[in-house]
Amino acid sequence: MPYDAARAVSRRTAELGEAAIQHMAQRARALQAAGRSIINLSIGEPDFATPAHICEAAGKAIADGFTHYAPIAGFPELRAAIARKLREENGLDYEPSEIVVSNGAKQAITNAAFATLDPGDEVILVAPYWASYEQIVALAGGMPVVLRTTSEDGFKLKPEALADALTKRSKLLILNAPGNPSGTVYEPAELAALAAVAAEHPRLLVVSDEVYEYFAFEGEPRSFATLDGMRQRTITVNGFSKGFAMTGWRLGYAAAPLAIASAMAKIQGAFTAGANAFVQQAAVAALAGGRSEARQMRDVYRRRRDLVARELAAIPGIRFVPPPGSFYAFPDVSALLPAHDGAQPIGDVDQLCDWLLDQYGVAVVPGSAFGDARCFRISFAASDEALAEGLKRIVRAIATLDHSIARARNAGP
């Protein structure tokens, strides 16, 4: 009997939104392979090499035989090193038993969602949000509730908006600061106000995704769990991908009250078991090794952020507030759309990003992937040369467009 493999795909998978970031990155790679000159500013991939002492520790760990299964929640020495890091850098007090090491922060968030959500539980996402949150929540059976923010407000969640969104089904609030793609860094008082609202809810847990903690250009990121009453209802997520330039190593972790950490380890045990054994040993070396590389990266990202701001200022009508953290710019181009390039209309930000890639060879990600279709995302984790050339192409491309329809609309009747 002939078998239709396409029909084998589950409804859950078929309904899963496509990951626009990977989609853009893949299209960029395919065009590059076909011989086009492509500048890829789509993915959050640091162009820095992993520091040598971390690579050496991994090599030594392999030679020392760390090539077998690791404990599900991580090696005790790494969990202890993470507990020390959280105490010394973040002012958080966790026992090693409250820490779960995973295959990247992404798996830590997945563990958190599967360990805490029952079908229909509501998960509050602050748009613009990292696109994977929506996918993970959907797979875990949660219901995303999206709260929108604006660039004028620094893409910050307001306590009143949080209070209004809470229902008896609310279970998780996912906060991410410094934010992807927003770059948002909250002031301590702003976080305290959000914590005060969360504290009044009987069920609400907060996932605080702190993977960009070392990349704040203004302000001091603060761990949400340090706020009054929040340790008991926060899952702190972090990882090595961004701060230590270790994206391909796949290592992250979460810290949470014991009952939640144990549930997360149980989920991880069911899906993938312990994270890579020799990478965990390398991570011990990473944490022991100081933060000078992270500070150097932050300074480079700040310089690139300023370059992005200078270049984008050349585009009339674009709304862009330079981000105080992370390595993404998220300009609002809604005042420029719809537009026309003489041959074809460009109706929305998805079409604009496709057009930029096809016609000008520069890959950026439409804001629709992050729950905000007014903007697009430029990653400035790319090299200086690639970023400068990519920005030039964006400015040149947008200058060729006819924006008369958008201008007439903006001028009103």
Q: What are the residues binding ligand PLP (CB under 6 A)? A: 44, 104-106, 130, 176, 180, 209, 211, 239, 241, 247, 252
The least CB distance from residue 238 to ligand PLP, in Å, is 8
CA–CA gap between residue 34 and residue 294 (Å, rounded): 36
Instruction: Read off the amino acid at residue 225.
Output: A
CA–CA gap between residue 389 and residue 210 (Å, rounded): 30
CA–CA gap between residue 272 and residue 91 (Å, rounded): 31
From residue 385, alpha-carbon distances to 72, 227, 289, 309 in Å are: 42, 41, 29, 16
CA–CA gap between residue 376 and residue 315 (Å, rounded): 14
Closer by beta carbon to ligand PLP, 75 or else 244: 244
Work out the angle between the directed axes of helices 104-116 and 258-271 (0-180°, nearest 10): 110
Please give the angle made by the CA atoms of 62, 68 and 71, to the nearest 5 degrees: 115
DSSP H helical segments within 100-187, as ranges?
104-116, 131-139, 159-165
71's tokens: 């404990």
> Which residue has the closest beta carbon to ligand PLP?
104
CA–CA gap between residue 135 and residue 126 (Å, rounded): 14
Closer by beta carbon to ligand PLP, 130 or else 214: 130
Contact indicator for 377, 367 with CB cutoff of 8 Å: yes
Closer by beta carbon to ligand PLP, 166 or else 254: 254
Written as one string, the DSSP assignment of 282-340 is HHHHHHHT-SHHHHHHHHHHHHHHHHHHHHHTTSTT-B----SBSSEE--B-GGG-SEE
Q: State the pairing for strand pair 252-255/99-102.
A: antiparallel
Rg (CA), the chain: 22
Q: Is 115 exposed, middle or buried (0-12, 13-18, 19+ CB in 10 A)?
A: buried
The least CB distance from residue 251 to ligand PLP, in Å, is 7
The least CB distance from residue 166 to ligand PLP, in Å, is 23
Closer by beta carbon to ligand PLP, 239 or else 361: 239
Closer by beta carbon to ligand PLP, 50 or else 176: 176
Closer by beta carbon to ligand PLP, 106 or else 305: 106
The least CB distance from residue 246 to ligand PLP, in Å, is 8
The least CB distance from residue 130 to ligand PLP, in Å, is 4
DSSP H helical segments within 140-183, as ranges?
159-165
Closer by beta carbon to ligand PLP, 253 or else 360: 253
CA–CA gap between residue 321 and residue 189 (Å, rounded): 21
Closer by beta carbon to ligand PLP, 277 or else 337: 277
Closer by beta carbon to ligand PLP, 106 or else 298: 106
Contact indicator for 182, 331 with CB cutoff of 8 Å: no
Closer by beta carbon to ligand PLP, 239 or else 274: 239
Residue 8 makes CB contacts below 8 A (sequence gap 6+) with none
Closer by beta carbon to ligand PLP, 27 or else 106: 106
